[in-house]
Amino acid sequence: MTDGREFLRSELVAVAAAVVPDQQPVVTHDPGPVNPGVLFDGRGPATVCRVSVETGNGKDPDPAAVVAAAADVLRARGWNAEVAEPENGHYRVAASRDGFEVAVHAWASDWRITFTGETPLVS
């Protein structure tokens, strides 16, 4: 799982840096392995790692453009990426690759763009 976590983090940072090239992405969430996938809600072997990275353009935020750019960058790096229909100011991309899942969120009311990913489930 360590390799997956490292890969995911590096991918998210790379995509974020490509989408907003003049800014330094920030890893905001990387707590390590957790276990959401057993009968016992929390107890049991850790099965996934989740990582979040944030960046953005504070001067001229354009959520529609950044999610489109994020989808393009993800595809160029080998991910299957799909831009969802905007939903009341919520713009998003869903991307997957080899069991990894990534959600890209941008909001009309916020300058941030958030890249959240999860490693494949280890059974």
Partner 1 sequence: MDELAERYRANLELLEAARVRLQSAVDSGSASDAERRRLATVKELLTPVTESALDAEGNVVAVQRPRQFLKVDVDGQGRAVEVLGDLRHAKNVAVLVPGMGNSLDTFRGQSDRGDLIRQEARPSETAVVVWLDYDSPQGLVQAASKDAALEGGPRLAEFLNELDGLKADGAEVTAVAHSYGTDVLGQALLDGGRAKRVVMTGSPGITKYVDEASDFVPPPTRLYVERAPGDYVAYSEWHGPDPATFPDAIRMATNDPIANDEAVSVHWHNEYYRPNSEALRNIGRVVRGDLASITTTDTSRSAETKLVLGTSWGGPLNAVAGAASKVYDGVVSLTKPSRASARAAASDIDAGGPGGGGQGGSGQGAGELGAGERAGAAGRGAVGSGSAGSGGVGPGAGQLGAGERTGTGGRARAARATGVTRGRRAEGPRR
Residue ranges binding partner 1 (CB under 8 A):
20, 23-29, 31-32, 34-44, 50, 52, 54-56, 58-59, 80, 82, 87-90, 94, 96, 101-103, 105, 107, 109-112, 114, 116-118, 123
- CB-nearer residue toward partner 1: 48 or 73: 48
Angle CA 50–55–59, to nearest 5: 160
Least CB distance to partner 1 at residue 3 (A): 19
Least CB distance to partner 1 at residue 11 (A): 14
What is the residue whose two structure tokens read 């989740």?
Answer: 50
Angle CA 3–123–79, to nearest 5: 50
Q: Which residues contact 105 (CB under 8 A, 6 or more apart)?
A: 90, 91, 92, 113, 114, 116
- CB-nearer residue toward partner 1: 55 or 70: 55
- CB-nearer residue toward partner 1: 3 or 123: 123
- CB-nearer residue toward partner 1: 3 or 59: 59
Helices (H), 2-109: 2-19, 63-76
Least CB distance to partner 1 at residue 20 (A): 8
For residue 99, the one-letter residue type is: G
